[in-house]
Amino acid sequence: MYHDYVLIKGAGDLASGVACTLFRAGYRVLLTEIEQPTCVRRKVSFAAAIYDEEITIAGVTGQKADRWEDALSLINNDKIAVMIDPWQQVKGRFIPAVFIDAILAKKNTGTEIQDGELVIALGPGFEAGQDAHVVIETKRGASLGRKIYSGQAVEDTGVPGEIGGYTSERVIRAAAAGTFRALLEIGDYVDRGDIVGFINNQEVKASISGVIRGLLYSGLEVSPGAKLGDIHPEKNQLVCSRVTDKSLIIGRSVLQVIENSQ
């Protein structure tokens, strides 16, 4: 039996932009996450509700729900619900009208075409018509947001999108494994070489100057190469809480797929 709600697997910044788009279009939205999501762009990620209980993004409020009954109450009262559900138990008990895999793992971690009446997958790693009904292109460029009904999205290059002439340089990554401890906050201005935080006793430094647009929560365990933060080259604090054009484009494509399927 399909239930009249949208279930989004993942609550990072891109998934959250999609959630905001669908919420404004009148859909009831539930997002699921792991127990300790490693969201960097916390100001625009509903995953932050796992830590902070509630977050408002572009006027849309997401709140943590401990049980399906709590989530149902929230989505029936003009809020987005966020649940810890790494094994997708909700999906198994209450099959959604629309299921969206938005974790951007660059591979299929278990999504199946029967997971919802309509199944949409974001980014590479999925075969449209086999793993999902529709795949949405997430690579920046002329094809961003393309609706794929047969085939796959473009493979991930591992290179972040260019902003202000910078790509990989604007992403702060862990050089070693350990416990991350932030010294600065999202919205702080930095110059190249400034200490942003520590992994154990090892300094984590800014590779470019700008504003810290995203930063991992302190106390989380990280592995080598893990994304710790994101620096925007423009020293403008407004970008920290701004939903990206990328997520809005993808959100509109998802909305079009849903509406065209009805």
127 lies in the same domain as 174 = no
pTM: 0.96
195 lies in the same domain as 111 = no
Residue 190 falls inside a structural domain: yes
196 CB neighbour count, 10 Å cutoff: 23
CATH code, 70: 3.40.50
Do 202 and 176 form a contact (C-beta atoms < 8 A)? yes
180 lies in the same domain as 149 = no
Q: Give average pLDDT by consecutive 10-residue segment, the chain, 262 residues.
A: 91 98 98 96 98 97 96 96 95 94 96 97 98 97 96 89 89 96 98 97 96 97 96 96 96 98 87
Confidence (pLDDT) at 1: 63
Q: By three-state DSSP, how is residue 233 classified?
A: coil
The pLDDT tens digits of the residues spanning 60-77 come to 999 999 999 999 999 999
115 lies in the same domain as 90 = yes
Confidence (pLDDT) at 162: 85
Residue 161 falls inside a structural domain: no
137 lies in the same domain as 197 = no
Confidence (pLDDT) at 78: 95
Q: Name the domain count of the chain.
A: 2
Residue 79 falls inside a structural domain: yes
Do 239 and 43 form a contact (C-beta atoms < 8 A)? no
Q: What range defines the domain where residue 195 resides?
A: 168-233
Which bin fits 18, alpha (ψ -120 to 50), beta or left (φ > 0)? alpha
The pLDDT tens digits of the residues spanning 4-62 come to 999 999 999 999 999 999 999 999 999 999 999 999 999 999 999 999 999 999 999 99
Residue 248 falls inside a structural domain: yes
At residue 78, φ and ψ (nearest 5 deg) are: 60, 40
DSSP 10: -
